Amino acid sequence: MKLIFERGSAEQHLTLLPACDVPEVHFEQERQKELHLPHLCENELTRHYTEIAKRVHGVNDGFYPLGSCTMKYNPKINEDMAALPGFTKIHPLQDVETVQGAMEALYTIGESLSDIFGMDGITLQPSAGAHGEFTGVMLIKAYHTDRGDLARNKIIVPDSAHGTNPATAAMCGFQVVNIPSGEDGCVDLDALRAAVGPDTAGLMLTNPNTVGIFDKNILEITQIVHDAGGLCYYDGANLNAVMGVVRPGDMGFDCIHSNLHKTFSTPHGGGGPGSGAVGCKEFLKKYLPGPIIVKDGDKYDFAYPEKSFGRVRSFWGNFTVVLKAMTYIMTLGKEGIPEASMNAVLNANYMMSLLKEKYTMAYDEICMHEFVMCLVDLHDETGVSALDISKGLLDNGQHPPTMYFPLIVHEALMIEPTETESKESMDEAAETYLKLYDLAKTDPEALHAAPVKANCRRLDEVGAARNPIVRYTF
């Protein structure tokens, strides 16, 4: 399809703004370089974007079991509420008396999230999961720094962790200690005991972990880290398995981030905006980024924690994203939240039971909200890889699972159906997976060639990186 710059004519433009009703003023130093922006009539403009939208697979386009990404249905009421003019048309620097409703909203979801997390304090400033991780690890840094415990310069991360965990620790100035996982995919307690010491600042952990298993040793894990003087950070990427069922705070974690755009149903938007709310225990509250929202009687106000390590972004957070999550929590309530998680877990186990008929599971036991298949045997036998199966799924109108993650499982496909998929849609999806398994054995070439029905064939990524073309040239 054409790029937007290749459409329309240079003389075309919309009539959007009125004539200037005051004397015109211009810059003393104006730009010299000509400005090339698109030039289309409104009809052609909308056609371009309709064509763009048709070349995208959204949650409403079909099964989307992207492991670790929690692609649940994004309720329409959330969008309606976040679009209310009383929220979208208020300036972030209005006097607090004039934005009490907005502050009430932030306070309300803060209270709910604190309860779901099992934490005492919260900030809604972080804009995404990784930004929340940054904020959480900064709490750990601020704590040790404040205590003068400056030798604690290492963060422990299991080798099954998301890449954001070690990247975050490094951004926060820590050395990363990667520890190997046990054979069951869980934390190897001996490896952890060997790794902790007087230089341990903390541990970053997901539970359930990235292979979809709830670590039964979780209390011992957090205890080992605490005994060594470190703190425990909960990566909430997998919170959808346990919200309202178990609280990270009760597992012994000191701080947590949650991806509101996963667990609390706000849309992903093709890669954001998300929200990475961070919760912490009482003793860390004084280090939170400022400002936080406080309530005094019926009044809401901003307050700056006593030893805040500073702000992590401008203003107060991805406000309308937070509103969508608040709407979701208000809808589900105290019964619906655990109900959602338990059904997410049921769906994953059901899907696993269907796929187990042919595929090999990396860890063949009851899983949480997601599970990992290992396609090494299939690959050895047929030459068909996890990538090939994924591309075959594209030809069947499905979004593939997460591929090649976690790194500790070879030829991995990680499947997370979420609670909003029906049995019917999972039955149909599973049928396709099983059909592709058979196809791998009978006609591997067909899968090597896939996709053939998508908007394009496989793309040359190596060439793209070697000779980067990252903009259109006029």
Residues 423-442 that bind other proteins (CB under 8 A): 423
Q: Tell me: does residue 285 bind other proteins (CB under 8 A).
A: no
143-172 residues in contact with other proteins (CB under 8 A) are: 162-164, 166-172
Q: Tell me: does residue 14 bind other proteins (CB under 8 A).
A: yes
Q: Tell me: does residue 199 bind other proteins (CB under 8 A).
A: no
- The closest alpha carbon to 225, from 142, 299, 155, belongs to 155
- Find the shortest distance in angstroms from Cβ 298 to other proteins: 11
CB 166 within 8 A of CB 157: yes
342-381 residues in contact with other proteins (CB under 8 A) are: 342-343, 345-347, 349-350, 353, 366, 368
Q: Tell me: does residue 17 bind other proteins (CB under 8 A).
A: yes
Residue number with CB closer to other proteins (198 or 463) = 463
Q: Tell me: does residue 92 bind other proteins (CB under 8 A).
A: yes
- Find the shortest distance in angstroms from Cβ 294 to other proteins: 17
DSSP string, 163-191: THHHHHHHHTTPEEEEE-B-TTSSB-HHH
- The closest alpha carbon to 125, from 279, 338, 277, 346, belongs to 277
How far apart CA 33 and CA 31 sit, in angstroms, is 6
Residue number with CB closer to other proteins (380 or 461) = 461
- Find the shortest distance in angstroms from Cβ 378 to other proteins: 20
Q: How far is CA 196 from CA 216, 217, 256, in A?
A: 20, 16, 20
Member of 283, 302, 304, 472 binding other proteins (CB under 8 A): 472
Q: Tell me: does residue 96 bind other proteins (CB under 8 A).
A: no
Q: Tell me: does residue 323 bind other proteins (CB under 8 A).
A: yes
> Which residue stretch of 227-235, 280-288, 319-327, 431-439 sits at the interface with other proteins (rule: CB under 8 A)?
319-327
Q: Tell me: does residue 110 bind other proteins (CB under 8 A).
A: no
Specify the pairing of strand 292-296 against strand 276-280: unpaired
Residue number with CB closer to other proteins (6 or 381) = 6
Q: Tell me: does residue 420 bind other proteins (CB under 8 A).
A: yes
Q: Which two tokens stand for residue 92?
A: 């972030």
126-145 residues in contact with other proteins (CB under 8 A) are: 127-131, 133-134, 138, 141
> Any idea of the CA torsion for 123, 129, 133, 139, to the nearest 10 degrees?
0
DSSP string, 42-89: HHHHHHHHHHHHHT---GGGS---BTTT------HHHHHHHT-HHHHT
169-198 residues in contact with other proteins (CB under 8 A) are: 169-173, 176
How far apart CA 113 and CA 259 sit, in angstroms, is 11
Please name every residue paired with 373 in a beta bridge, in sequence order, or none if there are none: 361, 413
Q: Tell me: does residue 233 bind other proteins (CB under 8 A).
A: no
Q: Tell me: does residue 305 bind other proteins (CB under 8 A).
A: no
